[in-house]
Chains A and B, each alone.
Chain A
Amino acid sequence: MTMETPLHRVQGLGSSHSGVRHFWRQRVTAAALIPLTLWFAWAALGLVGASDSQVLSFLTLSPLGIPLNAILMAIFAVIALYHMVLGLQVVIDDYVHGEGGKIFLMLLVRALALAIGAASLFALLRIAGPV
Chain B
Amino acid sequence: MAENPQAAPARPRPLSPHLTIYRWPVTMATSITHRVTGVGLAFGTIVLAWWLVAIASGPEPYRAFLGMSSAWPGQLVLFGLAWALAYHLLNGIRHLAWDLGYGFGVKTAAALSWTVILASAALAVAFFALAYSGYGGFLR
Contact = CB atoms under 8 A, between A and B. Distances in A.
- Please determine whether chains A and B interact with each other in the same assembly: yes
B136 A48 contact: yes
Contact of A127 (B39, B46, B55, B136): B55
Interface residues of A, number: 45
B139 A58 contact: yes
Contacts of A56: 55
A126 to B, nearest CB: 4
Interface of A: 1-2, 9, 13, 27, 30-31, 33-34, 37, 41, 43-56, 58-59, 73, 77, 80-81, 84, 87-88, 91, 113, 116-117, 119-120, 122-124, 126-127
Contacts of B138: 45-46
Interface of B: 1, 4-6, 35, 38-39, 41-42, 45-46, 48-49, 52-59, 62-63, 85, 89, 92-93, 95-96, 99, 127, 130-131, 135-140
A123 B45 CA distance: 14
A120 B48 contact: yes
Contacts of A124: 52, 56
Contacts of B39: 88, 91
A42 B32 CA distance: 28
A120 B52 contact: yes
Contact of B49 (A45, A53, A77, A126): A77
